[in-house]
Amino acid sequence: MQVAEGLKFLHHHMIVYRDLKPSNILIFSLSLANLINAKISDYGIARYSTRCGLTATEGTPGYRAPEIARGDIAYNMEVDMYSFAMFLYELVTGGTKPFEDLRFRHELDAAVLKGRALDPITSSDCPPWPDMADLIAHALEPQPHRRATAEQVNERDYSYCLFFWKNCCVAPSCTTRKFCVCISAFFCI
């Protein structure tokens, strides 16, 4: 959960990232001990936040939270957790983008504002993964104060890693093995 650890660090220091999406995550390895390191990049629109929050309409449509898309209320760190859930969805579905059928900014924002549900992760040939589906749903809560926090995600029981390895990563195909190594670096200790 290196991305969640990064968000926890930022949020501890009152930084709202505001643009979490797969293309802003760098994957690399400098050591044989760690196969993959994930780092959050592109802090161009990240801002220090006070308790009053921020109001600028920033972020990437399709990944940004409803309170940002509305543009009329103050928001805080909870917007990053909404984006984190969208990122997780794309990761566990093997690259299926949230609202993949929509193309334009206003369509993506409208889907988020209307609370359009994401397709189940199983619709992308991912085996059932109840803990991950629950984590995504918890971080996509329409009410910001009800969303999972980065700290809660980091403290969460990682038993779903064992479930994932048992049900998905025993497959012999090369593509599946590469995907499993990548995804385990994000989620498993």
- Pick the closest to residue 129 from 169, 97, 99 (CA basis): 169
- Residue showing tokens 């543009």: 71
Give residues with Cβ within 8 angstroms of 188, minimum separation 6.
158, 161, 164, 165
Is 19 a residue of the active site? yes
Which residue in 19, 42, 72, 119 is the catalytic one?
19
- Pick the closest to residue 27 from 184, 187, 182, 145 (CA basis): 182
Sign of the dihedral through C-alpha 78, 80, 83, 85: negative
111 three-class SS: helix
The alpha helices in the chain, defined as continuous H runs, are 2-12, 66-70, 78-92, 105-113, 130-139, 150-155, 159-167, 174-187
Residues in the chain: 189
User: Which residue numbers are catalytic?
Assistant: 19
